[in-house]
Structure 1
Amino acid sequence: MMLRLDGTRPLSAESIEEMVDLCDRADDHRESGPVTVHVTGVPPAGWATELTVGVVSKWERAVRRFERLGRLTVAVASGDCAGTALDVLLAADVRIAAPGTRLLPSWAGGATWPG
């Protein structure tokens, strides 16, 4: 069970749905094996200006659900990771980083992204 999360994409209902769908599949299929997410990417400058509290709240719930899955979760990071990619990486049980991976804070409204 796997998902590729591109941190360069803006946080949207679609990205939230992808994470919720992954969690639904993990809950519905009880076979063994980890739930794996490949993360990479840094959001562009100003990426958070169009976000609403509702969208951010739904994203936080989806990440929290991923974090609390009853299965082993693995995040594999490559390249530069920030924003949503970093949120998911930090929520995983096992974190693997390819050589050269950089973990970077994202900025939103003059402060770091709270993830």
Structure 2
Amino acid sequence: MTGPVPRSTDRAAGRPGVGARGDRPMAELAVLLERACAAAERDGGPLVLWHRATARTWPGTADVADVAAWERVLRRVERIDVPVVAVVVGACSGPALETALVADHRIAAADARIGLPRERGRVWPGMVLHRLATHLGAARARSLAVRGAELTAAQALRVGLVDEVTDDPAAALAAVIADAGALTGGFATRRALLLDAAGRDYAAALAAHLAACDAELSEVDRPTRVPSRL
């Protein structure tokens, strides 16, 4: 199986990120994505994941250690304290789909097609299945995982797999980056709370949310409270 090559910066947006072109092994893709994360953290983000037409074959020549390393860098993306924006153009599968699923906002070009990677009639059983089920629910994810179905951009928007469909991905990306610029910090915390919500009930989640609120209060300038006089 093969996949696209990230580059260290997205040329169109001038932002730290990765773009898809050509074919590279999973291990090399993991290194390049790791470098993009480091650049986004250094520059203050956002991290842009721009994907152009890729085959539905993945992960290429790899062993389970490579898969584990790839998953570790995806977890780094999920925990990075900058906004993460994915843009998909054409076919979105393999590493393009896996990185899109860890993004905070997903922009799809009108020609985008989204499906799980497969080769020789077998669908890749990586953590992409877990993330799809988290996003779509097991019932909706099943047609992609069991039947190997492919979604158009309009279908992906309808089920919430992408956040917007556009004929001008670059303009949509610029608008999202501008909106993200109005926020400062706390991205990793809010993302973690949302990701954990599906697997925790209210009582289990309360302590984590209270801790996050306490940390947020310490970061925000608050007016000095003057004791009231009776």
- TM-score, normalising length: structure 2: 0.44
Q: 2: CA distance between counterparts of 1:17 and 1:23?
A: 10
Give CA-to-partner distance per residue, 1:40-64, whole Å, 9 cap, x none.
31244xx446320011111111111
What is the one-letter code of the residue matched to 2:36? L
- Candidates 65, 75, 88, aligned match of 1:64: 75
Residues 25-104 of structure 1 mapped to structure 2, 5 A cutoff: 25-30=39-44, 33-40=45-52, 41-44=54-57, 47-48=58-59, 50-104=61-115
**3-state DSSP of counterpart to 1:97:** strand
What is the one-letter code of the residue matched to 2:48? T
Bigger proportion of residues as strand: 1
- Give ranges in structure 1 of 5+ residues lacking alignment: none
Highest CA radius of gyration, 1 or 2? 2
Aligned counterpart, 1:112: 124
Moved over 4 A (4+): none
- TM-score, normalising length: structure 1: 0.82
**3-state DSSP of counterpart to 1:71:** coil
- Candidates 6, 12, 17, aligned match of 2:26: 12
Bigger proportion of residues as helix: 2
Q: 2: CA distance between counterparts of 1:11 and 1:95?
A: 24
| Count of aligned residue pairs for this structure pair | 110
Q: 2: CA distance between counterparts of 1:37 and 1:113?
A: 22
Summarize the Cα distance change of 1:90–1:18 in structure 2 as closer, same or farther, 3 Å threshold: same
**3-state DSSP of counterpart to 1:70:** coil
Residues 116 and 123 of structure 2 are in contact (CA less than 8 Å); yes or no, is this contact kept in structure 1?
no
**3-state DSSP of counterpart to 2:110:** coil
Summarize the Cα distance change of 1:12–1:48 in structure 2 as closer, same or farther, 3 Å threshold: closer
Residue 108 of structure 1 deviates from its aligned partner by 5.2
Seq. identity, %? 29
- Give ranges in structure 2 of 5+ residues lacking alignment: 1-15, 129-230
Residue 10 of structure 1 deviates from its aligned partner by 4.2
The answer on 1:23 being equivalent to 2:37 is yes
